Each structure stands twice: as C-alpha cells, then as structure tokens.
Amino acid sequence: MSIDFTPGIINTYHGDIYNCTTNTDNAKTPDTPKWPCDNWEEQQPINSTFSGEGYTSDQYDLAQHQLQQINACHTNTTYTNADYSKIVAQLVSLINNIETISSTPLTQQTQSILNQINNIRYEKNKNSECRIIVVANPKPDKAIITKISVEEGIPVRFSVQTMFSDTNFNAEQRADLPTNIKDIQSLYQKMTKLYIEHSENKNRMKVFAGTNFIDFNMTGQNLSGFVLTLSRFYFEDLLNINFTDANLGDTIFSHKEHPTPKLYKDEQYLDKQIEGLFSTLLTINDNFLRAKAEIASTIIKFLEARITNLSYNDILKYQQEFQKQCYKQVKAFTTLSRYNKIQTWAEMSEYQFEVFQYETLNPKKCHARLI
C-alpha cells in the first residue's frame, strides 16, 4: 500500500452529522473547516446519541466516531500534565525520525504512538495559516488533541502543542520541532503515510474519510481499501487511481468550475482524460453505483468531444464496460439524462455511431434538414 501525494493544500469536510444529512450532491465545503472542539468558546457539552435514521451504515459509523471525539473534548479526563507531555514528546520523536522510520524496525515507542493516533488532519484557515491536527487516544474515548503548526518569528519555528485541556484552553505542553522541516504539507503527507503503513489502529483506513482532495495531484494514487465516505474529488483529477476495495459510499464528485474550452479541442488532453478515467473506473466496485455512473458519464462527455477522430472499434472497450448489469441499476443514483446517455452508448450500433459522428461533424446540415 502506498500513498504519496504531491504537496498541496487540503481541507476537510465532515458532513452534517447533527442533522443526519445524506444528500451530499449540493454539499459545500465550509470556508473554515471544523474539527472536534474548534471554536471552543462556542462549544457546549454534547449529551446526545445518534438514532442512525437517514444514514447509510458508513455515514453512521463516521458520525458516531466524530461525535465520540467531540464528546471526549468535554469529558473530564484523568489525564495529568505528564500524560500530555508524553504525547508531545512521542510526536516530536516521531517527526524527528520520520525520514528513517520506514527503513528500520519500529521502536516500541514509535509503534505505541502510531497505535494511539485516531486521526491526522491537515487544515488551512482563512488567514492561510496551516496546521496538522493529531487526535490520540491513550485511553479509550479519551482524546488528547495536539496541533503541529508554524509559529511566527525569524527564523520560522515549527512546534507541537496540546490543545483543548479539561478547561478547553490550549494546554501548556509544547515543544519545538527540528528546523529541517520544509513545510506543513509535506510533513502531513509523511505522517499520514507512516500512520497508514505501520499503525495497528483499525481506524487507520478511515483517515481520509471526509477529506477534500481537490487540491492534490491525484494521478496514479493508490487509495485501495480506504473509507472515502464524504470525501471530495474533481472528475478531471481521477486519472489512473486505484480504488480497489475502497468505500466510495456518498463520495462527492464535482467538475472544475471553469474548464478551459481549448482543452476540449486538444486531442492529447482528451485521450489522457479518457484513458485515465477509464482505468480508474475499472477499479471501482460495482456496488458503488453513483460513482460508476458519474465517472462513466464523464468519460462519455470526453468521448463525444473526441468523436470526430474516433472509429467504432475505438469505442468497443468502453461499450463493453457500459453494458455491465450495474449500469442498468444506476438510474436512481444519477440524473435521467446521464443514465440515458450511458444506455445510448452501451447499445450504440456501428450505424448509429456513424450517424452520431456525421451529425457532430455537420451540425448545420442536420439542422437545415430538420427545418
């Protein structure tokens, strides 16, 4: 398993866990992403449970997990200053040795902190201040939350500091990090990769649930086996991704807002999009009908833009995929026009293809004939 993102900015969207919203098609990423106990002045203890009504099982599990972290911030723990200091020291040691850990046997201390981590999150606020939030659970359901951030000054300093103590203020425990850290983004990627590959925590495969991937270079990434509920992707970036055994329930797909029109006349660009998206599509489990439908319809959009220089033989492999039974079941998971488009391409004969190609090449003649 590998995960090695090109450095970039990533924010997180956790969905509406209070109102049990399941319609994610029009969901908006908050300007300032929230995390358990953010804006502590406004937080009140939460004494509630979820009925699960309106949730898929994966959404329910994710919401329950997040509620536990929120409640943990408001629960009187038995942690001492020494407990907080220990977490800080372990994280500092982990980061100090992060370049060599994967190539050497893990020490007991390193394995211990990786097992205690429940989540790692990168965030950037409106002021472009970046930080990594690490949620650790030395005791079940009793979270210690730390932030790894850049501190103002010359030279720039990176630090680890505990947050949200029993009084909800930043705790006193903090420590400087080594000066050879290049940036928070690359550190986040290294920490996440290490956590996924070496932690024994069963939650590690949920580390990307709710993650906004739209600012990453996703080409060729291996997301096999991850829970990606409520994660967000751009269609145009889903090239040659391995989604084998990934949970794509309620994953949010969207198009880039302002695609360059010239790109739709660039055959090399279109071919890259078609082949990359098709490679990704083939790795998606047939049970995730919405993901299959959305990506299939995007491939068709690019095929139509490329139609003038295609032959019927060129489309046969795509047609064979679209003829699978799962595409006959996607009607409830996409728009009627997209569903009809997929079925049209699945059933298209060579003659129908040639007619479509001719009409695309000669729109004025076809319009005049209709008149």
Q: Following DSSP, what letter does each residue of 22-87 receive, concatenated? A: ---TT----SS---TTSSTTT----------TT--HHHHHHHHHHHHHHHHHHS-----HHHHHHH
Give yes or no: residues 298 and 354 share one domain. yes
Give yes or no: residues 247 and 175 share one domain. no
Give yes or no: residues 190 and 213 share one domain. no
Residue 2 lies in a domain: no
pLDDT value at residue 240: 97
Report pLDDT digits (tens) over 232-251. 899 889 999 999 999 998 89
Residue 3 lies in a domain: no
Nearest to 347 by CA among 328, 370, 366: 328
Of 179, 202, 225, the one marking the end of a domain is 202
pLDDT value at residue 152: 65
Give yes or no: residues 15 and 127 share one domain. yes
Residue 170 lies in a domain: yes
**Tokens matching residue 288:** 């995730």
pLDDT value at residue 155: 65
Residue 5 lies in a domain: no
Give yes or no: residues 185 and 209 share one domain. no
Where do we find the tokens 């997990």?
65
Give the residues of the chain that fall short of pLDDT 70.
1-77, 152-156, 164-172, 179-180, 215, 258-262, 363-371
CA pair distance 356, 155, nearest whole angstrom: 63
Asked if residues 197 and 182 have their Cβ atoms less than 8 Å apart, the reply is no
Report pLDDT digits (tens) over 124-149. 777 777 888 899 988 877 888 888 88
Model pTM above 0.85: no
| Strands of the 11-12 sheet, one edge to the other | 11-12, 211-212, 232-234, 252-254
Give yes or no: residues 69 and 162 share one domain. yes
Give yes or no: residues 197 and 217 share one domain. no
Of 186, 202, 218, the one marking the end of a domain is 202
pLDDT value at residue 293: 95
Question: How many of the other CB atoms lie within 10 Å of CB of 19?
Answer: 8
CA pair distance 70, 21, nearest whole angstrom: 18
**Tokens matching residue 168:** 């909800």
Helix, strand, coil share of the chain (percent; to 5) = 45, 15, 45
Give yes or no: residues 122 and 225 share one domain. no
Domain that holds residue 250: 205-370
Report pLDDT digits (tens) over 301-321. 999 998 888 999 999 999 999
Residue 221 lies in a domain: yes
Give yes or no: residues 362 and 328 share one domain. yes
pLDDT value at residue 18: 26
Nearest to 188 by CA among 102, 55, 94: 94
DSSP label at residue 308: G
Give yes or no: residues 197 and 62 share one domain. yes
Residue 198 lies in a domain: yes
Nearest to 174 by CA among 155, 153, 147: 147
Of 171, 202, 233, the one marking the end of a domain is 202
Residue 77 lies in a domain: yes
pLDDT value at residue 153: 59
User: What residue spans of the chain are helical by DSSP H?
Assistant: 57-74, 81-96, 108-116, 184-198, 267-281, 289-305, 312-322, 336-347, 350-361, 363-370
DSSP label at residue 261: G
Give yes or no: residues 167 and 244 share one domain. no
pLDDT value at residue 132: 87
Give yes or no: residues 144 and 231 share one domain. no
**Number of structural domains the chain divides into:** 2
